[in-house]
Amino acid sequence: MQKVLYIGIFGDSIFLNVNKLPKPGETIQTNDCFHEFGGKGFNQAYMTKRLGGDVTFISSIGNDDLGQELIEKIKEKEVNHIYIKKDKNTCFGVILTEQSAENEVIVYSGATLDESDFKTIKGEIDKSDIISLQLEINYNLIEQIVKYAKEQGKTVILNASPIMDISSIINLIDLFVVNTVEAIAIFGEKFKDTILEKKLNVIVTSSIGATYISSEIKEYKTIKVNVKDTVGAGDVFLGTLNYYISIGTQIEDAIPIALEYASKSVEIEHVLNAIDKIIS
């Protein structure tokens, strides 16, 4: 089994279920509020860990009461967590979800990893086989990580979210995982043709399945489910995908399994809760 290193943000989130998402300038109310800690990197790492993977997660933590509280909470999840304390507030997110399960997400990045942390991260890259990244941390640091990881012969997987210019590393990534909106933003409206021309490996996810674009295009359909909460479904998908890649499963064979778990997760509210229930 290969070791997977996740690098990302870690913080607290407040989930508010609303009848409808607010329009600009509109105030709405809700009596449905829920707190859950996490972040893309941690959610993905936890999914891989729950499946039995060998995982390390690196993040930064704010030098505040919330940061200390989250350190204790992550210990309960038994994920190998390496954290770097920052003199800022801990990351925080607000997620609004309406009855249709559509959502809006706002993230305060706060205490995030930056270039000064590369030395610590470099040591963990040396111990790992698969490096899994998102675009929630400092981009200059991401460039350093990707370039060093490739020099060391590591497999680099990028969940290119949130959207930003990744042209400086686009040819160094072994596998991109994006949703349709992200694919269009990065590769253009005719993203399938562009990806084929550039000879990249990209998985594009959507509400109905996934498209794997490499030397050819393969389509995968998801199973029909009763959707309650789509937040974190992409993290469940990637965490599952990385686990199966780490045990030697071909990407083409890992995608249907990852889709199945992601589909099951949207039937359960709150991503960590969903992971625990679908793995139990």
| Joined tokens for residue 240 | 């599952």
β-pair type (130-134, 54-62): unpaired
Q: What is the pLDDT of residue 152?
A: 98
Q: What is the pLDDT along the chain (280 residues), one digit of tens a residue?
A: 999 999 998 999 888 889 888 888 999 898 888 888 988 999 999 999 999 999 999 999 999 999 989 888 889 999 999 999 999 999 888 888 887 777 788 878 889 999 999 999 999 999 999 999 999 899 999 999 999 999 999 999 999 998 999 999 999 999 999 999 999 999 999 999 999 999 999 999 998 999 999 999 999 999 888 888 888 999 999 999 999 999 999 999 999 999 999 999 999 988 999 999 999 8
Q: What is the pLDDT of residue 192?
A: 97
| Joined tokens for residue 147 | 């370039």
Q: In what order do the strands lie in the sheet with 33-38?
A: 33-38, 11-18, 91-98, 103-108
Q: What is the pLDDT of residue 210?
A: 97
3-class SS of residue 26: coil
Residue found under tokens 């990209």: 202
Residue found under tokens 């686990």: 243
User: CA–CA distance from 150 to each of 27, 153, 213 (Å)?
Assistant: 48, 5, 21
**Neighbour-count burial for 260-274, b at 16+ CB within 10 Å, e otherwise:** bbbbbbbebbbbbeb
Q: Are 196 and 241 in contact (CB under 8 A)?
A: no
Of 246, 274, 219, 205, residue with least CA distance to 52: 246
CA–CA gap between residue 46 and residue 233 (Å, rounded): 13
Q: What is the pLDDT of residue 187?
A: 96
Q: What is the pLDDT of residue 124?
A: 98
Using left for φ > 0, alpha for ψ between -120 and 50, and beta otherwise, residue 269 falls in: beta
